[in-house]
Amino acid sequence: MSHLTSREGYTHLIERLNRFPLGAPPSQTLYDILSLLFTPKEAELVSLLPIKPFKMEIAAQNWKVSMLEAQKILDSLCSKALLIDIEQNGSSTYVLPPPMAGFFEFSLMRTGGHVDQKLISELFYQYLSVEEEFIKTLFSGETKPGRTFVNENALSSQNSLYVLDYERASHIIESFQFMGVGMCYCRHKKQHLGTACNAPMEICMTFGNTAHSLSQYGYTRLVEKSEGLELLEKAREHNLVQFGENAQSGVNFICNCCSCCCEALTAARRFAFLNPVETTNFLPEIDLTCHGCSKCSQACPVEAISMVSAHDPQKPKKMKAQLDEDRCLGCGVCVTACKENIISLKKRARRIITPVNSVHKTVMMAIERGKLQELIFDNQALWNHRAMAAILGVLLKLPPVKQIIASEQIKSRYFGKLLADMN
């Protein structure tokens, strides 16, 4: 690859990243970020990898190197948390995570590492908070990458009956064999910028194969479920919001987010019209006897509660809390913040639909962002029957309108005929 300039390698990598349903809009800042995380050779090699999980043999074939050389490169990329390796039946499968939630976060989930963390924190802030295009792209579309978990301490015995297992962070913790805890990417980044809050730092949670892979290279530490539940309670004591992968099963992460550092919550305040974070199935209900203490308003991570005049002729300065339902996450932080027990949770009028698993979520996001053809006709995926079966299984269960959109995107007579035969 000596004929390639270093710039070309990063350009090819950016093109590769933008085949994800969640892409990374090109900019000089993105180029600078990737230059810190990847060497020019690594950037070019990763640009040749499939979107979906792959074996070492595929990497060796695409890179035109020996199996031994491919293994060395893969191990090096995994040690930097740029790839995730999944052990199954004594064999490793590899996957390139998206930028977010993925290798952007991993780079700051421990101290030290292979990058200048102060510099990359400044670049992340520029790319994510100043330039805005990436954040707007990330949170566009009906299907969101992440969802809110309800604060279980805020649930009454009655509305607890309406919470499904996958809607409880505690259930996610209890359902996985492996759980890892790492440093909060957002607060670590803000620490380097000198603006971090005092919320707990080592409290971000990963699960399953992701936790196992990251723990091997020191990005997380594996913990018992009991410690995970204790950390969850600690997060709630600090009014942190549980924000995790938008899937019913196979959840890879749960972050415990503060309103001042978390990029998702910041985006929810700045771009409320995008509804960047999927909500829970609850809304707070504020009793008419609200005293106007403003504790709920101060605790709300997305400024969904404001203080307005109570219109009390006897007390003209009296205030009361008012909810903006369109902004509300339904997290329940306000319920526990209210010491007068004036706020409770009620069911939303329309139930939120959560994708069944990561494949379902990815296919839906690809359709909505016009990238389904990239997902299906990715490098080796067309010839991977199991991958095709998984994608088509999701497509055939979609509502007719979304099936038509999908068919238009991939422009496949085979897929069109398949849908026609099924309907």
Quick check: 6 pLDDT over 70? no
Please compute the mean of the pLDDT values over residues 291-320 and round it to a whole number.
91
- Per-residue pLDDT, 1: 44
Q: For 6-15, 242-251, 354-363, 380-389, which range has the lowest pLDDT when averaged over its residues? A: 380-389
Is 286 found in the same domain as 270?
no
* Buried b / exposed e along 63-101 (16+ C-beta atoms within 10 A): beeeeeebeebbeebbbbbbbbbeeeeeeebbbbbbbbb
Is 299 found in the same domain as 242?
no
CB 112 within 8 A of CB 126: no
Helices (H), 47-106: 56-63, 67-79, 104-106
Is 368 found in the same domain as 252?
no
The 8-class DSSP code of residue 351 comes to P
Distance CA 102, CA 83 (A): 9
Quick check: 411 pLDDT over 90? no
The verdict on residue 398 lying in a domain is yes
Q: For 54-58, 88-92, 197-201, 286-290, which range has the lowest pLDDT when averaged over its residues? A: 88-92
Distance CA 126, CA 133 (A): 11
Please compute the mean of the pLDDT values over residues 290-311 and round it to a whole number.
93
Please compute the mean of the pLDDT values over residues 41-68 and round it to a whole number.
93
Quick check: 378 pLDDT over 70? no
The values of phi and psi at residue 68, to 5°, are -65, -45
% of the chain with per-residue pLDDT over 70: 90
- Domain end residue (candidates: 215, 240, 274): 274
How does pLDDT run across 399-408, given as a tens digit for each residue? Answer: 877 777 776 7
Which pLDDT band holds residue 283 (cuts at 50, 70, 90)?
very high
Is 378 found in the same domain as 337?
no
Quick check: 422 pLDDT over 60? no
Report which secondary-structure segment, H or E, holds 88.
strand 84-88
The verdict on residue 160 lying in a domain is yes
Quick check: 248 pLDDT over 50? yes
Q: What is the mean pLDDT of the chain?
A: 87
How does pLDDT run across 78-136, given as a tens digit for each residue? Answer: 999 999 998 877 789 999 988 888 899 999 998 877 789 999 999 999 999 899 888 88
The verdict on residue 84 lying in a domain is no
Is 269 found in the same domain as 139?
yes
The verdict on residue 153 lying in a domain is yes
- Domain end residue (candidates: 328, 347, 366): 347
Nearest Cα residue to 361 out of 327, 331, 398:
398
Quick check: 382 pLDDT over 50? no
The verdict on residue 64 lying in a domain is no
Which pLDDT band holds residue 387 (cuts at 50, 70, 90)?
low
For residue 323, give the 3-state DSSP assignment. strand
- Per-residue pLDDT, 313: 85
The verdict on residue 75 lying in a domain is no
The 8-class DSSP code of residue 100 comes to I
Distance CA 419, CA 409 (A): 14
Q: What is the CATH number of the domain that holds 327?
A: 3.30.70.20
- Per-residue pLDDT, 388: 62
Give me the number of domains the chain comprises: 3
Which pLDDT band holds residue 420 (cuts at 50, 70, 90)?
low
Is 257 found in the same domain as 374?
no
Is 297 found in the same domain as 178?
no
Is 295 found in the same domain as 164?
no
Number of neighbours of residue 165 by Cβ within 10 angstroms: 12
- Per-residue pLDDT, 410: 62
Is 163 found in the same domain as 264?
yes
Please compute the mean of the pLDDT values over residues 7-23 and round it to a whole number.
88
- Per-residue pLDDT, 271: 79
Is 264 found in the same domain as 140?
yes
Full domain range(s) for residue 297: 282-347
The verdict on residue 19 lying in a domain is no
- Per-residue pLDDT, 414: 57
Q: For 233-247, 271-285, 332-346, which range has the lowest pLDDT when averaged over its residues? A: 271-285
Kind of pairing between the strands at 241-245 and 253-257: antiparallel
The verdict on residue 168 lying in a domain is yes
Nearest Cα residue to 322 out of 349, 343, 341:
343
Is 208 found in the same domain as 185?
yes
Is 193 found in the same domain as 310?
no
Report which secondary-structure segment, H or E, holds 391.
helix 385-395
- Domain end residue (candidates: 239, 256, 274): 274
Distance CA 114, CA 38 (A): 10
